[in-house]
Amino acid sequence: MSKRDTERFEPRSRKVKILATTGPASRDPEMLRKLFKAGADAFRVNMSHGEHATHANTIEAIRALEKEFNRPITILADLQGPKLRVGTFREGQAVIRHSGHFTLDRNPEPGDETRVELPHPELFGLLEKGQRLLINDGKIRLKVLEASDDAILCTAEVGGVISDRKGVNVPDAEIPIPALTDKDRRDLAFAVQQGVDWIGLSFVQRPDDLAEARRLMGGGVRQGAPALCAKIEKPMAVRRLAEIMELADGIMVARGDLGVELEPQEVPPFQKKIVNLARTAGKPVIVATQMLESMIESPAPTRAEVSDVANAVYDGADAVMLSAETAAGDWPEEAVTIMDKIAQHVERDESFLERVRFHDTPPDATTADALSHACMTIADTVPISAITVFTGSGSTARRVARERPSVPMLVLTPSMKTARRVGLLWGAHAVATKDIGSFEEMIAKGKRMALRHGFGQAGSKLIALAGVPFGTPGSTNLLHVVTLTGQELDKRES
């Protein structure tokens, strides 16, 4: 570990988390360090690009940052998912006329301005008249006139240049292909072996997609597997969102492909719906894609992009994500810095808590939920510096985060896996520490950790939330308010 920087890591002053994508512009250890110091709480490793050896080096560099700053850092490995693509063209590309006819067929011969191969047999016989095919991120829009087992005749609502192996989106049908390709299975096995904290599952259409991923991962988080984040990119997933939400550990609003398959004006309401449903379920929700897109090339964002990030924070998203801005852009550190500034400024708005709680998240009829809700109420009534949550699996921390309390949450856990995993939760600052065995030990440790990590000073009040008997999952049943004396740091045990 580098000795050149021995400064103590101060807790973030904001509650929403920043997820930064690694790539050619940011995978260097020094740049990763800069991004972390600028405000990145978690890192996304995009399995669509790069070799396993490269990703392994990136993950190793992030784990080195953990040791340097003594702070758990979350890593999300994002799987590519199935990609539908057209075949090739005789001249590498062709022009589809506006309002002209164009055929997608099963003939492997290179295409021209009238036809091209669609090497996905599962689509033939599935599509019906009137359904849409979107090519090259929706730049070309086709409508089906006739569909058979061998050919799909379309009319071009929007024509243009089409070239080899451009992507195809089918927004109006549930495609009978699994969310995991052979490549995804290899990437998933690699990610699990590397000990990443979250898996991002792309192009989820149905609950079965999540069940298959769970099987390959060896179970859920209680079995030691990474947490599973369902990326909502298909209209079909939005229609089955409640079922998908039940099986996922977290949700990503992946606005890139979702924005291709939906009309532009439909995306904002869907984004808010997804965020609200995830919050109601008490599961972290990430808003992603094109948040500061202009900063791929520019050192400053547009005012519209600033508003976009701010609205996601006002909506109560757990995390906001940077994609190409940090993976391949010219200004990765600046992008993180500006996103951090936007989030901090929004959270200082005197109306922020009122707006972030506009969506009601009533507690379930359980003791754990009632106590989590009480944490929020107490923090609104009494001057509280932090809520200390003792948890083994992270479920208590999720319940507290769902309430969007006005003070930060210090999550104390004996599991490093849990400490890393809760890094995407709103307001959570995780510390991996030794387990506790008694009420007295819990209170003493909570005080000591709060002082050590900057969550209070002499005279500050803390809320302690835990379950008795200790070490029993799902037993949250104890809430206690304590006052710091300032003498707790005399004991050096961690």
What is the rounded distance in angstroms from the CA atom of residue 382 to the CA atom of residue 481? 10
What is the rounded distance in angstroms from the CA atom of residue 286 to the CA atom of residue 174? 24
Q: Is 97 a catalytic residue?
A: no
Contact 250, 424 (CB under 8 A): yes
CA distances from 121 to 126, 184, 188, 218, 492 (A): 9, 20, 26, 31, 65
Q: Is 491 a catalytic residue?
A: no
Q: How far apart are the first and last CA of the chain?
A: 20
Instruction: Dig out the tokens for 237 from the structure.
Output: 């997933």
What is the rounded distance in angstroms from the CA atom of residue 80 to the CA atom of residue 201? 8
| Residue showing tokens 């999550």 | 411
What is the rounded distance in angstroms from the CA atom of residue 221 to the CA atom of residue 255? 27
Catalytic residue, from 22, 74, 88, 289: name it.
289
SS3 state of residue 472:
coil
What is the rounded distance in angstroms from the CA atom of residue 230 to the CA atom of residue 266? 20
Instruction: Dig out the tokens for 177 from the structure.
Output: 């292909």
CA distances from 401 to 98, 277, 375, 418 (A): 51, 14, 10, 15
What is the rounded distance in angstroms from the CA atom of residue 316 to the CA atom of residue 111? 48
Q: Is 433 a catalytic residue?
A: no
Q: How many CB atoms lie within 10 A of CB 219?
A: 10
Residue 283 CB burial class (10 angstroms; 0-12, 13-18, ≥19): buried
| Residue showing tokens 């400490």 | 419
Instruction: Dig out the tokens for 429 from the structure.
Output: 């600052």
Residue 85 CB burial class (10 angstroms; 0-12, 13-18, ≥19): middle
Contact 273, 245 (CB under 8 A): no
Catalytic residue, from 85, 143, 240, 355: name it.
85
What is the Cα 239 distance to its own chain's centre? 20
Catalytic residue, from 44, 71, 398, 417: name it.
44
Contact 239, 274 (CB under 8 A): no
Catalytic residue, from 15, 115, 231, 421: name it.
231
Instruction: Dig out the tokens for 428 from the structure.
Output: 């959570």
Residues ≥6 apart with Cβ < 8 Å to 394: 221, 411, 413, 418, 421, 422, 425
Q: Which helix (H) or strand (E) holds 440?
A: helix 439-452
Contact 430, 420 (CB under 8 A): yes
Q: Is 44 a catalytic residue?
A: yes
| Residue showing tokens 């709480």 | 41
Residues that are catalytic: 44, 85, 231, 289
